[in-house]
Structure 1
Amino acid sequence: QPIACPDCGPRLSLVPGHADPLGQAIALLQQGLIVAIKGLGGYHLAVDACNNQAVARLRQRKQRDEKPFAVMVPDLVTARLLAELEELEERLLAAPEAPVVIVRSRTATPVAELVAPDSRWIGLMLAYTPLHQLLFADTGLKALVMTSANASDEPMLSDDAEAAEQLAGIADAILTHNRVIQVRTDDSVLRVFQGRPLFYRRSRGYVPRPVPLPFDAGKILAVGAELKNTVCLTRGREAFLSQHIGDLKNEATLDTFCRTIDHLGTIMEIKPELVACDRHPDYLSTRYAEELGLPLVRVQHHHAHMASCMAENGLDGDLIGVIFDGTGLGDDGTVWGGEFLVGGYGAVERAGHLKQVRLPGGDLAAREPWRMAAAWLWEPLGDGIWQLPGMPVLAATDRQLLQAVLERGINAPLTSSMGRLFDAAAFLVGAATRNSFDGQAGMALEALAEAAAAPELLLYRLQPGTPFQLDPAPLLLGLLQRLQAGESSASLARAFHAGLAAAVVDGCDLIRQETGLDRVVLSGGVFQNRLLSELVYTFLAKSNFSVFIHRLVPPNDGGIALGQAAIAARR
């Protein structure tokens, strides 16, 4: 039970000090200022979500240009004013877990445009602690931006001293209390897909609820991926995934990673006898696993995605895995991300994949979508790529350098990344010119496509072989031709999604003809795209495939650890 009485607390305080901490914090929010608020699993940065200037100030100070913010409201009545809610979305919002639910925003919403720029969707959550509820009680505040208080790529702040030091230049004040946060944990994020929840982030409220396994896995630790990291501990036929840890790119996140493993093992009373990790040798999680001194199983990234979806759906035996994401080290040393796999927990074969192209500039290509458009269309267009709409104006020497990069592969590794293909398509139809956060261009393309009717499918090409290759160049060229003919960008964005979904069905059908397999799992971060998932699922079902998707863990890298554990158990 919590300590909660007039004598013992909890006690609120404000930095800088004030006789009425709560009243002053509310007054600052009403004035459009930024207040850091100590919550259940860490600190949030809060501003009035209906004040565009306040939201702009928060973006500038947090250096978060365009990534959408989550919004907290006091109750369902207010939530209905901001969004068009389905029955299940309302039940999820009001549930004890109190997740952020991504819902369709109303046209006449009072929420500032800068909360979720160029998006028809908004992440809503209800006030889930008494302190949150007091911020809204008779204050006139309808909605508050609630975003995790942390520097870029670092974990959510939960320590009072660290918050006071690191938020000094961001927050105008800090509303805190004297209850220590024992375990840092972010808000869970989900949306409704086909009448059921689909996780984007599984964290507060849902962890450490076990995921049932279709077999006894013993005691295994799986350390997950580098991005959107979670870890997993198994005990018999149960798998316990940790809360969202974040991107393992710095010492602060690595420290949280280590603490999370120790804490989860302690409360679940699990001492692992085997450890599983990604095959990438440079991941911090891989190095951690290597130093444990336990028997070690290295798991290919996309195989782990496939096994994750299999495990949570209770599947066994061989099937088809359609795994689409941004990046993962492939068996051949190149960057994979558009994969058709065949097999099960024990082993898989790469039956097909998106045709490989150069990643010009390496990581820079993930931030500048024009580079991927150039890479995909260099072969059919050559120098004609410089006439593509929206291409940057480069000096002759820079053009020659890019051409050399594409022809010779200097600082341009090969990739079959589906995420980067979405970047190229988003650039070509004018949906996005940059990725300031992971998946931004893909999200923009999806939002644009949702506004259009389903058009005639554009052509793509399946190149036979072992493995077969999906060549989307004709699809991209078709987008350009129709754009020049005056067709709307929204219609073309929809056509891209539909054409890609049709290609998935044809690829799976090729595999079925050779293997007789008719079960398909869909996994990888690209399947957070609601429209693509809907089209692929529908098209496959109409072609008499049994289709399985994620429900208990995210399709993105937040679910990787579950797949690693399942594969390690079988091996």
Structure 2
Amino acid sequence: MEQMITNPQQRRWRVNVRGIVQGVGFRPFVFGLAERWGLAGFVRNDSAGVTIEIEGEERALHEFVTALQREAPPLARIEQVSIEPLALAGERAFVIAASQAQAQRRTLIAPDTATCADCLREITDPADRRYRYAFTNCTNCGPRFTIVLDVPYDRANTTMRSFPLCEQCRAEYDDPRDRRFHAQPTACPACGPQVRFARGVGSGEIGSETSDRLDPLVAAATALAQGQIVAIKGLGGYHLACAADDEAAVSRLRQRKQREARPLALMARNEAAAAQLCIIDPAAHALLTSPARPIVLMPRRPAAPVAPSVAPGMQTLGVMLPYTPLHHLLLAEYAAAVGPARVAAIVLTSGNLSDEPIAYEDDDAAQRLEPIADAFVTHNRPIHMRCDDSVARVAAGGPLLIRRSRGYAPAPITLARELPGPILACGGHLKNTFALARGREVFLSHHIGDLENLPTLRSFHEGIAHFERLFDITPEVVAYDLHPGYLATQAALAMPIERKIGVQHHHAHIAAVLAEYGHTGPVIGIAADGSGYGPDGTVWGGEVLVATCAAYERVGHLGWLVLPGGEQAVRQPWRVAAAALAQLYGPDFWRLALPFTHQLDQAAWQVLARMIERNLNSPRTSSLGRLFDAAAALAGMGQIARYEGELAILFEQIADPWQPPYPMPLREPAIAGGPFTLDGLALLAALVADLRAGIAPAAIAGRVHHGVAQALVAACRRVRDERGLTTVALSGGVFQNVLLLETLASALQADGFTVLIPRLAPPNDGGLALGQVAVAGAICSME
């Protein structure tokens, strides 16, 4: 376009900036740059991002645009900058203009972000007017996603709209040189939300405020130090808290919450307290202290001062640092209450009963949590969207997300290529997330949870509607898992969207990795998990695929195991182990001199044996997750899984990593051109021989892990030899097992393979929706 100018030294540009550029201090940053370079014009928020018009010398305009991208605020994420020349307007000043709504909205909403250093200094400074104020924030930190109702991201479109700013806060809010300029959640003790402490009264309502005159957080800290359970309203919902080192309190919390064994998360006051609990390497430290502040799984110190019931049988602890001023203040008071002899850490777990979504509305929290909590810390800032804590660990030198939620969602994952149209992906049944996508942006949702009940399904539908409104996306295609029993699948099929695309579960796992890396494929995909619907009517879960986003071929898989009783075998791994022994040694396997067979309920097994014989509810499975379950059960980890994958998780915890591998041979296809198999039964036979020889469970666990890794390397070599492929994508819930992941990745890299490990989305079913978007987009692009 020809530039319209009257002065050859002067130019005027319109600069459109797209990305996470609202609610992160971007406009005052632009204002400061304009002042630095002596430019006139304006900046404003709109429904697409930020629009800037600048006028001045051409050299200064170029410097401005360069600095715009190099020096952006810490929470900003610039996706695109476009420049359009304009006619000179003769302006003399630069201003921040009012927001402007447009017909099509393309604004990105920032995730909730941990308290910044400046705000933390203020709440700990007795001379500051925000001293000890639990809702202190600025444009560099604080709530975003959980309070936003609509876009543009202005105060009137957040749950802070019911808190008019006082004179001092208004002055900060209106001053483009202040870091609280247009910080929508900003407030102070004079005009903002307030905390209160209340005792539970057994009535299904949160009780009256405590009669003592203590500060609410002092009262809460005292209650925690005395062994009470306290429900705490946070950013994205309620938590349940108790002292981390009080076994009676932790056991009582487990009993009331009906969470028998799954590890509980901890919040440590600071890095020093976290270091009392765990060994923190640099990569874990980076995760722990990042603005997202996830729960980080780290090796526990041998003498970590935590109650045994916090993480039974685990060599790791899940620890997070405070991420709101309320948490910082509460943990400081707790440290003062317990004194230096006790660790300044509390259990902080989701405020719910097991399998329910986290409570986030006050009335609902009163109903559901009052039977669990002895007291409540509440406040009057509404939460609009529930959002659980994220969970991560370090694997192969980088982050591995176990749950992507607070601190990460709803920041988009950017694709390498444009999608042909807007897509909704409904995800899976367990660890559900959904995704809405348009252009190159995939908005992977916060953690919804296991779609096992009506409240969680309602949360799923509410979340989709909220994302559609926020990002102005009306999907033209819906992608879903092939399993007909998944509630997410049933919801997708019932939606009034004409184009529906079913995506095979394990193909979606691999496509998610391809989407993250912008890889076109084909690649060797190793998809390993507990179960997924196989098009052949069997339960898949240990798959070797050759995959692109558009298509896949199953070239190999784990040899067949049997699931006596179907889903019951997942909850009772002894069934899979016993069936495997029957496959190996015949019906008299129970005569083997093993601790497992001595403990076996022979009457129960005989019923299952008849079921298998008659092929009644005994599906075949190629699941690597079930192979680990069987190995763990045989090695003495237990017979019943109290939560998903418990025995396999405990098996990883005890494994001695310096052990030789068990054999797991690659077997040629039974039918020419069919998939090869990896003989998991041979591995279990070697395990049984070691058990009979008295080999320790830790050594057995190490040999199983190395045997599986060695077999998967052999499978990749086979595919490389036949297809010439040298890139391997790893995904599926089994790869939450860091010992297996690191052993396999290292061996593959040493053998010349390029290994793609999921970093932006979980390898488990929390990442399925991303893969479903990638597959549906690729299929539609070919039409």
Classify the TM-score, shorter chain: over 0.9
* TM superposition shift of 1:393: 5.2
Q: 2:743, 2:236 → 1: CA distance? A: 37
Q: 1:27, 1:3 → 2: CA distance? A: 29
Q: 2:600, 2:731 → 1: CA distance? A: 38
**SS of equivalent to 1:479:** helix
Q: 2:455, 2:601 → 1: CA distance? A: 41
Q: 1:487, 1:281 → 2: CA distance? A: 44
What's the counterpart of residue 352 of structure 1? 556
Give the alignment's Cα RMSD to 1 decimal.
Answer: 1.5
What's the counterpart of residue 258 of structure 1? 461
Residue pair 1:326, 1:420 contacting (<8 A) in 2 also: yes
Say whether 1:281 aligns with 2:484: yes
Residue pair 1:358, 1:409 contacting (<8 A) in 2 also: no
Matches within 5 A, 1:291-370: 291-294=494-497, 295-370=499-574
Identity of aligned residues (%): 48
What's the counterpart of residue 403 of structure 1? 609
Matches within 5 A, 1:210-229: 210-217=412-419, 218-229=421-432
**SS of equivalent to 2:586:** helix
* TM superposition shift of 1:211: 1.0
What's the counterpart of residue 185 of structure 2? 2
* TM superposition shift of 1:323: 0.4
- Matched AA of 2:304: T
* TM superposition shift of 1:392: 6.5
Q: 1:137, 1:11 → 2: CA distance? A: 18
CA spacing shift, 1:162–1:317, aligned 2, 3 Å: same
TM-score, L = length of structure 1: 0.97
CA spacing shift, 1:567–1:484, aligned 2, 3 Å: same
What's the counterpart of residue 641 of structure 2? 435
What's the counterpart of residue 459 of structure 1? 663
Q: 1:24, 1:453 → 2: CA distance? A: 47
What's the counterpart of residue 33 of structure 1? 228
What's the counterpart of residue 354 of structure 2? 152
- Decide which of 61, 64, 67 is 2:259's aligned counterpart: 64
* TM superposition shift of 1:398: 3.5
Listed as ranges, the gaps of 5+ residues in structure 2 are 1-183, 200-206, 339-343
Matches within 5 A, 1:11-26: 11-13=194-196, 14-15=198-199, 16-17=207-208, 18-19=210-211, 20=214, 21-26=216-221
- Decide which of 579, 601, 618 is 1:412's aligned counterpart: 618
Say whether 1:241 aligns with 2:444: yes
Residue pair 1:69, 1:146 contacting (<8 A) in 2 also: yes
What's the counterpart of residue 322 of structure 2? 127
- Decide which of 223, 238, 245 is 1:50's aligned counterpart: 245
* TM superposition shift of 1:396: 5.8
- Decide which of 529, 536, 558 is 2:737's aligned counterpart: 529
Higher relative contact order (CA 8 A, sep 6+): 1
* TM superposition shift of 1:370: 1.3
Matches within 5 A, 1:373-384: 373-384=577-588
Q: 2:692, 2:603 → 1: CA distance? A: 29
Q: 1:95, 1:416 → 2: CA distance? A: 38
Looking at CA atoms only, which structure, 1 or 2, has the larger radius of gyration? 2
Residue pair 2:428, 2:481 contacting (<8 A) in 1 also: yes
Q: 1:422, 1:326 → 2: CA distance? A: 9
Q: 1:352, 1:431 → 2: CA distance? A: 29
Q: 1:479, 1:392 → 2: CA distance? A: 17
- Decide which of 533, 548, 563 is 2:771's aligned counterpart: 563
Say whether 1:484 aligns with 2:692: yes
Residue pair 2:267, 2:320 contacting (<8 A) in 1 also: yes
Q: 2:595, 2:615 → 1: CA distance? A: 25
Q: 1:309, 1:6 → 2: CA distance? A: 46
Q: 2:551, 2:278 → 1: CA distance? A: 45
Residue pair 2:431, 2:449 contacting (<8 A) in 1 also: yes
- Matched AA of 1:398: A
Worse-superposed segment, 198-207 or 267-276: 267-276
* TM superposition shift of 1:219: 1.2
Q: 2:601, 2:232 → 1: CA distance? A: 49
- Decide which of 390, 398, 402 is 1:196's aligned counterpart: 398
Q: 2:589, 2:226 → 1: CA distance? A: 50
Structure 1 segments, 4+ long, off by >4 Å, are: 392-397
Q: 1:395, 1:221 → 2: CA distance? A: 47
Residue pair 1:524, 1:555 contacting (<8 A) in 2 also: yes
- Matched AA of 1:275: V
Q: 2:598, 2:541 → 1: CA distance? A: 27
Aligned length: 569
Q: 1:173, 1:270 → 2: CA distance? A: 42
Q: 2:769, 2:604 → 1: CA distance? A: 42
**SS of equivalent to 2:587:** helix
Q: 1:434, 1:568 → 2: CA distance? A: 38
* TM superposition shift of 1:225: 0.5
- Matched AA of 2:185: P
State the Cα deviation string for residues 455-500 of structure 1 (Å, max 9, x = none): 2222222221111111111211111111221221111100000011
What's the counterpart of residue 48 of structure 2? none
Say whether 1:174 aligns with 2:357: no
Worse-superposed segment, 538-547 or 519-528: 538-547
What's the counterpart of residue 92 of structure 1? 287
- Matched AA of 2:607: L
What's the counterpart of residue 184 of structure 1? 386
Listed as ranges, the gaps of 5+ residues in structure 1 are none
CA spacing shift, 1:395–1:443, aligned 2, 3 Å: closer
Q: 1:512, 1:418 → 2: CA distance? A: 22
State the Cα deviation string for residues 63-120 of structure 1 (Å, max 9, x = none): 1111100100111111112111112222221222111111111111111121111111
- Matched AA of 2:189: P
- Decide which of 677, 702, 723 is 1:494's aligned counterpart: 702
- Matched AA of 1:6: P
Q: 2:482, 2:747 → 1: CA distance? A: 33
**SS of equivalent to 2:595:** coil
* TM superposition shift of 1:2: 2.1
Q: 1:138, 1:398 → 2: CA distance? A: 54
What's the counterpart of residue 426 of structure 1? 632
CA spacing shift, 1:396–1:559, aligned 2, 3 Å: closer
Say whether 1:389 aligns with 2:595: yes
* TM superposition shift of 1:246: 0.3
Residue pair 2:436, 2:442 contacting (<8 A) in 1 also: yes
Q: 1:251, 1:392 → 2: CA distance? A: 42
What's the counterpart of residue 473 of structure 2? 270
* TM superposition shift of 1:453: 4.5
Q: 2:695, 2:490 → 1: CA distance? A: 51
Say whether 1:509 aligns with 2:692: no
**SS of equivalent to 1:411:** coil
Q: 1:538, 1:506 → 2: CA distance? A: 14
